[in-house]
């Protein structure tokens, strides 16, 4: 079997890679003892690059096209091998095909909730997730920093590290931005644009380019979302009393259409009616207490009953001298008529009125 493998390696004269996978970043071309025949054909398709590595050192990189491998188009490899006068025998080199197309729909998301301060909810926990897209930016950096000697390098080998970078930078920005949780949905595009510019340099250090970053969802805890749903439902119902009355009327109408369930429906309607009344009681403000009745007095004037007068009117009569200390007055609750000066509510009003002058001597 080793002999046949050797023969197949010597007969290889086309170096190419047809990628039928969706996640391969780098593929090492397989051949016996790394031997490539002189004037072999190299085919690099669109969305690919081919890198030649000689004794662990990156030599030549080929972009899409068809090449005849000889000293003229292998300048660096020829220099490394020391072929000053050309060569015709097979040469040894590792060929790495690098996929330069975009890798889309890569997932990112927070493993644990992010603890943040929010102006509406106070301390709040948020979860976020989305997608992003990458492609190879620098073949040499990618091979040096990530691939090494891996013969089949896929996106799954780097996405965990990229996700950690994204989540760390996203949490830092979200905490510094102080955007209210209820306003985050209107800022998804801005968040994506900022994260693209923020994370790009770190991706470039791996030879990769971040081409797209999307925020799909930022969510509150289920308990908070349930409370918001209830609040939204109350807003949709509007007048709770009117809504309960409508439900009661609907139940009675249904009972009328189905006599067999009239009893249960009437009971349900009564329950809804009671709920409506309770809803009205809960939604209407409490009625103020009754206005206290003003104190009313009847006044004797020349043996005649006058009035009733309120306190302000009686006070004005006292100031004008129409009601004196000896004037008889009566109000509800008194057993009989009494002098105005002896009535508890009127006695203080005479303090500012001087008594009558004593009669002058003849």
Predicted confidence pLDDT, tens digits, the chain (362 residues): 454 444 444 445 788 999 888 899 999 998 766 677 777 889 999 999 999 888 778 888 999 999 888 766 676 666 656 555 455 556 778 899 999 999 999 999 998 888 888 888 888 889 999 999 999 999 999 999 999 889 999 999 999 999 999 999 999 988 888 888 888 888 999 999 999 999 999 999 999 999 999 999 998 878 777 777 676 666 666 566 666 666 676 776 676 676 655 445 445 555 555 555 555 555 556 667 665 566 788 888 888 888 788 888 888 888 888 888 888 888 877 888 888 788 877 777 777 666 666 666 65
CATH number, domain 296-352, options 2.60.40, 1.10.287, 3.30.565, 3.30.1490 = 3.30.1490
pLDDT value for 1: 45
Dist CA 62 CA 140 (whole Å): 12
- Find out whether 61 and 87 touch, Cβ atoms under 8 Å: no
Find all residues with CB under 8 Å of 2, minimum gap 6, and list them: none
What is the fold, at CATH topology level, of the domain defined by 103-223? Tetrahydropterin Synthase; Chain A (3.30.479)
73 to 77, 78, 323: CA distances (angstroms): 9, 9, 130
180 SS3 class: coil
Cα Rg, the chain, nearest whole Å: 48
Dist CA 211 CA 209 (whole Å): 6
Dist CA 99 CA 135 (whole Å): 8
Q: What is the pTM of this model?
A: 0.58
Phi-psi region of 341 (alpha: psi -120 to 50; beta: other; left: phi over 0): alpha
317 to 325, 336, 356: CA distances (angstroms): 11, 21, 15
């Amino acid at each position: 079997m080793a002999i046949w493998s050797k023969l197949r390696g010597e007969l290889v004269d086309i170096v190419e890679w047809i990628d039928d996978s969706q996640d391969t970043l780098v593929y090492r071309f397989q051949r016996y003892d790394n031997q490539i025949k002189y004037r072999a054909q190299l085919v690099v398709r669109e969305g690919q690059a081919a890198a030649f590595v000689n004794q662990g050192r990156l030599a030549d990189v080929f972009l899409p096209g068809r090449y005849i491998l000889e000293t003229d188009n292998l300048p660096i490899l020829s220099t490394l091998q020391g072929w000053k006068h050309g060569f015709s025998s097979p040469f040894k080199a590792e060929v790495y095909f690098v996929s330069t197309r975009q890798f889309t729909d890569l997932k990112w998301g927070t493993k644990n909730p992010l603890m943040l301060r929010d102006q509406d909810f106070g301390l709040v926990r948020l979860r976020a997730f989305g997608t992003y897209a990458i492609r190879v930016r620098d073949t040499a950096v990618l091979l040096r920093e990530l691939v090494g000697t891996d013969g089949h390098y896929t996106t799954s080998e780097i996405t965990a590290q990229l996700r950690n970078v994204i989540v760390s930078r996203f949490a830092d920005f979200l905490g510094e931005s102080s955007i209210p949780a209820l306003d985050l949905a209107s800022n998804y595009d801005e968040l994506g644009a900022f994260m693209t510019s923020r994370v790009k340099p770190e991706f470039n250090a791996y030879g990769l380019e971040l081409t797209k970053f999307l925020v799909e969802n930022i969510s509150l805890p289920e308990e908070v979302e349930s409370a918001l749903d209830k609040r939204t439902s109350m807003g949709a119902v509007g007048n709770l009393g009117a809504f309960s009355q409508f439900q009661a009327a609907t139940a009675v109408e249904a009972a009328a259409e189905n006599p067999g369930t009239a009893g249960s429906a009437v009971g349900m309607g009564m329950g809804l009616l009671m709920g409506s009344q309770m809803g009205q009681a809960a939604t209407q403000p409490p009625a103020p207490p009754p206005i206290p009745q003003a104190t009313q007095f009847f006044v004797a004037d020349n043996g005649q009953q006058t009035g009733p007068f309120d306190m302000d009117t009686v006070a004005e009569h006292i100031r004008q001298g129409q009601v004196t200390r000896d004037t008889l007055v009566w109000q509800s609750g008194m057993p009989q008529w009494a002098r105005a000066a002896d009535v508890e509510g009127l006695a203080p009003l005479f303090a500012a009125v001087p008594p009558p002058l004593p009669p002058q001597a003849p």
